Amino acid sequence: MKPTSQNSNQSDYEGVTNTVFDYVFGVAANDWDRIQQAFDTPKAQMKLITGEPGTEKVFVIPIEQVWEKIWRKLPASPTHTAEITSISVHEDRIAIVTLNNNDRYFDQLSLYKVNGVWKIYDKLSRMLGGGHISEADLTAAFGPQP
């Protein structure tokens, strides 16, 4: 099956963009309600890549736990920036978004439109510039990963 052309539907493009910015600015404002507008909780999860090249490990974390153990503890950030670097919409119901998040993280988001509403189901994230959160810190926060 061939995907529809990128950004072919302006309404879908705007819906995806609004959902992504609900996530980004919900985190920046420490606003769980806005984050929940973006993610399909409790199904949504983050896959956080940590470690040096060749020894990376992927932590799979439910978004609700990311909120409780990371995002909720962050100070509000009125200067938070984000740049969507690409949006690809397929079959008018699946979208893939790449995002430079505050010049600190590269995020790839998978969205699905259910009943006309775009929701993020999966977030793959890696710190830019080769940085990473240590495996020990992630294990302490979220427990050991299989």
Q: Report if residue 35 sits inside a domain.
A: yes
Tell me the per-residue pLDDT of 127-136, one tens digit each, with 9 for 90 and over: 888 787 888 8
Lowest mean pLDDT of 58-67, 96-105, 135-144, name the range.
135-144
Coil/strand/helix, residue 69:
helix
Q: Is the dihedral of CA 86, 82, 140, 61 positive or negative?
A: negative
- For residues 19-24, average pLDDT: 96
4 within domain boundaries: no
**pTM exceeds 0.85:** yes
Q: Is residue 5 part of a domain?
A: no
Dump pLDDT digits (tens) for 60-100: 999 999 999 989 998 888 888 999 999 999 988 999 999 99
Return the H-helix or E-strand segment holding 84. Answer: strand 82-90
Residue 38, domain extent: 10-141
For the chain, what is the mean pLDDT? Answer: 89
Length of the chain: 146
